[in-house]
Structure 1
Amino acid sequence: MRVVCPSRLPLKSHNYMAAIAWDLADTADRQGERARDISHRAIKREPSDLSRPVAPMDVAEMRRIRDENMRKKHGKD
């Protein structure tokens, strides 16, 4: 069994179990965040296709989309 000691000794109170739990949680969180950062950096991103211009939407089209989304949100399909 591995013994884990709080990283800050001596402790100012007798709350050893909480200090150990917090240190373990901090270490696990740090390792998880490091792994996520590495995996996010490894993702290959393709450049977007900017060679083809997209037609701008007019106000009526924007309102239609907004109204459709509001109906979906409020369950009025």
Structure 2
Amino acid sequence: MTFYRVDLDGVRNVFRTMEEESEEVHESAQVLLDPETGSFTSEVSELLEYVGSGVGSAVQCAMSAEDAQ
């Protein structure tokens, strides 16, 4: 498993930031996030428990959940 550290604080569109980071991070963004809004897709939102106010911790949690599947 590879971990990436991407600074998402103050970012308007998390999808675009992840897209620019690397191909692997972009692939995760395609699964987890809506490209237009940068927010979680409705399918992902339904699967996640509340993990705090930071988008970064939520993305990390979602990526871990994706790896578990």
Under TM normalisation by the shorter chain, which class is it? under 0.3
Give the structure-2-normalised TM-score. 0.27
> Relative contact order: is structure 1 or structure 2 higher (C-alpha 8 Å, sep ≥ 6)?
2
| Greater Rg by CA | 1
